[in-house]
Structure 1
Amino acid sequence: MGRGVEVLTRRVAAAYYTLKKLLDPAAILREAFLTSLKDKVMKLEPRAGEGDLETLLDFVELHGPPLPLRQLLDKRKKLLGFVCAASPECEEIVKAMSSLASEFSGCSNVVIEDMSVDSLAAKYIIEKHSPSQVVIYALKQRGRAPGLYAREFNASARDYGEALRSLSASLRGSLDIDVLLGGLAALGVERVITVIECEPSGSREFCRELIVDHLLREVKSLCA
């Protein structure tokens, strides 16, 4: 039994570390959690094949205290959005993104959404999914060399007057990424948003290939 207890102890420790990072519970809650699990670890053998997180969670939920572990892990969800105005390049991206959203609809760790909407609707999308991270893809011509560029947008650091002007433009129909983000800041979305911009080239499929490849790697890292 010694080897089985050793293996199970390591797995329970890993599960507890994940819980601590997600929730950072108070000392009393942590102590109760560990005390309960310690008693179970000393009495029970892990079942064969208990190497994945889902199986371990089943074990912890069955034998541990009634903590909402799965709800906590749902907070790892990443929202991958894309913003496109009407253009041939954007049409290609929308088709590819819609296909990926359908393909990975069964993965609870990632959501792919068309955010080619005004800032108010984008705020609703973010709040609906309550993700741990938001990534927005967009085409944006800024005179750079063609390719992908990543940046972090801190909505809470935006000038409020500028943000209000962006919100007004967004509600009037602008689908510019800067306008969308400024509108989110005006609406009080206090989070850091990762923005992946593609500087277009002469090829219609250039940005589609780069964005889809980047997004696919993001999805597979969470849904493998």
Structure 2
Amino acid sequence: MKAVLVFALLAAGFAAAGSQARAADPIVGTWSGLVDQYPVGTQPQYPATVTFTSSSSGTSAYSSLSCGGELSGGGSGGAYRFSEYISYGRATATSGGCINGSIDISVQGDTMSFRWSGSWNGVRYGASGTLHRVGGHRRAGWSPGSWVRGTSVANVLGTCFTTWTCQPSSPIMRAPESKVVSTRAQRTKGACAITNDPESCGVCISYEPAARCEYCVAPQDCDPSFMDCCSGR
């Protein structure tokens, strides 16, 4: 009886270890980010979200394109290949939409390299970008924008100043749970300072819920507290 009990405990231990190993696959979880499409279409850059429940299956969603699909495939060692079947928002001969394709993925920590490819009417299409694990740890960074000249005004001393608006090429992309579609980013430096020097312009990158959006605009030489970054969209 004692030997049977020991064997049962060992078997339970092996089962628990196996369950933990399966749950620990690097790709399991939800990933979100921006991808660039080529050839360039009506939306050259758009948000992509993929969720994997195992190393062999998952779902995809492209909120600004109103489409998504089912992913099947697999891999190991952080490298995966999936087939994507569009389950809603599929393109037809008479309407736009998304098409089936293949996705090559590599995962390192909380960062995912995403490369999609497919064809439609004999034309090859592709999209690639970097996605990040939702809820993962990610350092803030900057990507460039461009300052656009606004109106010029004279102050009470007669000095003329020009306001500038920072307009990055990337849209504001919110986390999937926010249920808000992406919008173009546009902030005015006048909230912090009125200047004739538009050189310092960038995009602050962070995650919800702390920032409530993934892309918010602020001059790099300006205190974000004066810009009220990421609020009042």
Q: Output the TM-score relative to the length of structure 1.
A: 0.24
Find the structure with the greater CA-based Rg.
2
If each structure's strand is expressed as a fraction of its own residues, which one has the higher value?
Answer: 2
Q: Output the TM-score relative to the length of structure 2.
A: 0.24
Q: Which has the higher contact order (CA 8 A, sep 6+)?
A: 1
